[in-house]
Amino acid sequence: MADRTPIIRRSSPAALAAVLRDSITRINRRMRQTRPAGELTVAQVSALWSLDGAGALTPRELADAERVQPPTMTRIVARLEEQGLVQRTPHPTDGRQVILAPTPYGRELVTRYRRAREEWLATRLSRLTQDERDTLQRAAEILARIAKD
């Protein structure tokens, strides 16, 4: 397999944006693939993470957060419920709605997935020089600032 590592030179913001987008996308894809084997699909993990982060959401809010159609989210939630990862409770003000929230087991699973991803990335970072890790530390701070804008 050919090394697709981009060579970065001083470039325009647009060129840098393309290189960053590609690199971030590939790292994100690889991290999403890092999960305990055979447990959940990427879509199920993502929905569970969204619920864990929000605490609780209606099915429509979850579908919007995941950018999928409600029927797709219905199938995802049904599978998560079957596995004991998500629970439904009545909506406090709208009897036609339900609230979805992760179960304690669902939260534990999110923690396991997060740990697996962090371990994968930490292993790769440990292979870098201290100077490279320092550069990435500065880059992470800059990226966090960009994400806030």
3-class SS letters over the chain: CCCCCCCCCCCCHHHHHHHHHHHHHHHHHHHHHCCCCCCCCHHHHHHHHHHHHHCCECHHHHHHHHCCCHHHHHHHHHHHHHCCCEEEEECCCCCCCEEEEECHHHHHHHHHHHHHHHHHHHHHHHCCCHHHHHHHHHHHHHHHHHHHC
Q: Is the pLDDT of residue 14 over 70?
A: yes
Average pLDDT, the chain: 90
For residue 36, tell me if it sits in a domain: yes
pLDDT at position 42 = 85
For residue 144, tell me if it sits in a domain: no
Q: Is the pLDDT of residue 149 over 90?
A: no
Q: For residue range 74-91, what is the model confidence (pLDDT) as tens digits? A: 999 999 999 999 999 999
- Tell me the residue type at 34: T
pLDDT-based confidence at 2, cuts 50/70/90?
Answer: low
For residue 113, tell me if it sits in a domain: yes
Domain ranges, residue 113: 24-120
pLDDT at position 99 = 96
How many domains are there within the chain?
1
For residue 10, tell me if it sits in a domain: no
Domain containing residue 32: CATH number: 1.10.10.10
Q: Minimal CA–CA distance to 80: which of 120, 61, 107?
A: 107
Distance between CA atoms of residues 120 and 78, nearest Å: 30
